[in-house]
Amino acid sequence: MIHSADIREWRNRSVVDPKGHKIGVIEAVYVDTTTDEPAMATVRTGLPTRLHLAFVPLDEAILGPGYVKVSYAKTLVKRSPSLGMDDILPAESEEAIFQHYDMPYRTGAAGERQLARR
């Protein structure tokens, strides 16, 4: 398990898939609001003139020197719901991210969001 105290050091680290293919660079980490543990990261992907932020789950992520290895293939991550570089994740878009990765989505008892940016 990766502890939330460590996530401050992740920004600008490379993200690689299980085969070691570089996906992009971490822009931000989102924690699960019920556990405060890292749940997702946004990864800068695309061409320098057309960058966007793709979401990738951090379950089973492995930290290495200068990189974070995720358990999802580069092609799957690149097709995930994404944001523009200056956009904020709308609450109504969260569920689509979880569906893309076949993960359950749970809001809080009063409908609170499941993800919070750190």
Residue 4 predicted with pLDDT over 50: no
5: confidence class by pLDDT, cuts 50, 70, 90: low
Residues 59-64, mean pLDDT to the nearest whole number: 89
End-to-end CA distance of the chain: 17
| Residue corresponding to tokens 């960058």 | 51
80: confidence class by pLDDT, cuts 50, 70, 90: very high
38-45 and 62-64: which strand pairing? unpaired
Residues 47-55, mean pLDDT to the nearest whole number: 82
Q: Give, in degrees to the nearest 5, the angle at Cα 71 between 65 and 77.
A: 100
CB-count exposure of residue 32 (10 Å: 0-12, 13-18, 19+): middle
Residue 61 token pair? 């992520």
Question: pTM for the complete prediction?
Answer: 0.86
Residues 2-19, mean pLDDT to the nearest whole number: 78
